[in-house]
Homo-oligomer: A and B are copies of this chain.
């Protein structure tokens, strides 16, 4: 009862991550347990600890794959210079990705690493790729030498969008937040961009 070698290490890794993702998508991410994933793979729990340091490590790889899927979804997008239209298109893709993978997306933020611990670099890079897309959209609103400001505004926008989506997902608040997510996103984008333009032109 040992050493089967039906699969290579890479295959096992692949099986584990996609089994976990499937469980999360079907039964919620709390249903990802060592024994559940092992069963889905047709292996024993111990094998998972041969592939990953612990369950948190597995979670991290699942979220990594989720970020890749989002980037793939977004990579077909290219801005055409109208900041508001671009941003709303980008946000549309982003929001529909999230709403069709709610539990996978939630994992990205809820299974954070242990306190004080920085994420591995490959993980940070995955996030930066997405941020860069956003920055490109709003670039036309800024003078060329204001790259810092541009970056800061992109971050604020991203964080704000994130707040809108997470609040909507928390069932607790859904009746308070009667507006649906796309409407809220639109209000955010329109006003935030108008504000940037107005302040740039010294209107405010």
A: residues with CB less than 8 A from B are 28, 109-110, 112-119, 123-124, 127-128, 131, 152-153, 155-156, 158-164, 166-167, 170-177, 179, 183-184, 187-188, 190-199, 203-204
Contact = CB atoms under 8 A, between A and B. Distances in A.
A199 B175 CA distance: 28
A127 B171 CA distance: 13
Q: Give me the 9 closest cross-chain CB pairs, A-B, nearest first.
A: A163-B163, A191-B195, A195-B195, A160-B160, A194-B195, A198-B198, A194-B204, A162-B163, A159-B163
B128 A175 contact: no
Contacts of A177: 155, 159
Contacts of A153: 187, 191
A69 B172 CA distance: 19
Copies of this protein chain in the complex: 2
B198 A184 contact: no
Contacts of A187: 152-153, 156
Given A153-B191, A194-B194, 17 more contacts: A119-B173, A119-B175, A123-B172, A124-B172, A127-B172, A127-B176, A131-B176, A152-B184, A156-B187, A163-B163, A166-B166, A191-B195, A192-B192, A194-B196, A194-B203, A194-B204, A198-B204
Contact of A159 (B114, B167, B195): B167
A109 B106 CA distance: 12
B171 A113 contact: yes
B28 A175 contact: no
Given A179-B152, A193-B195, A194-B198, A172 B110 contact: no
